[in-house]
Amino acid sequence: MKAYSLDLRERVAAACAEPGARICQVAARFAVSLSFTNKLLRRQRTTGTLAALPPHPGPAPRLDTAGDQRLLTCLRAQSDATLAEVAQALLAAGGPVLSTSAIWRACERLGWRRKKKHSRR
């Protein structure tokens, strides 16, 4: 989700600073939530800034470069294995315990595509 612009933040804070302004009316006027308005004013009081917080990078990947190589080796050895079988093979090769979802994301990140067998009818 993208952060609100600094311009909007400044306009909301200025409107809240007007005499007799009610926070719920300001929130409705600028089509923002009451929660956002309260958090914005609290941030202005505590830090003196209206700027948005920097985005969080998320959790670090469970596989490093060596883990990626182990995974590719397991995939090449058993190209028709299920994700659960690949997870077991990776664990047996000294890799970390990963869910099938994590295996899928790693395969996508590495660009691994399983070769499909074409059947003739």
Report the distance separating Cα 70 and Cα 44, nearest Å. Answer: 49
Instruction: Give the pLDDT of residue 77.
Output: 92
What are the residues whose beta carbons fall under 8 Å from the beta carbon of 6, sequence distance 6 or more? 50, 51, 52
Tell me the CA end-to-end span of the chain in Å, nearest whole number: 48
Q: Looking at the structure, tell me whether residues 71 and 105 fall in a common domain.
A: yes
pLDDT tens over the chain, length 121 residues: 789 999 999 999 999 999 999 999 999 999 999 999 999 999 999 999 999 988 888 888 888 889 999 999 999 998 889 999 999 999 999 989 999 999 999 999 899 876 655 556 5
Q: Looking at the structure, tell me whether residues 69 and 106 fall in a common domain.
A: yes
Domain around 84: 65-110
Global pTM value? 0.55
Number of domains in the chain: 2
Q: For residue 58, tell me if it sits in a domain.
A: no
CA distances, 62 to each of 4, 82, 90 (Å): 32, 20, 12
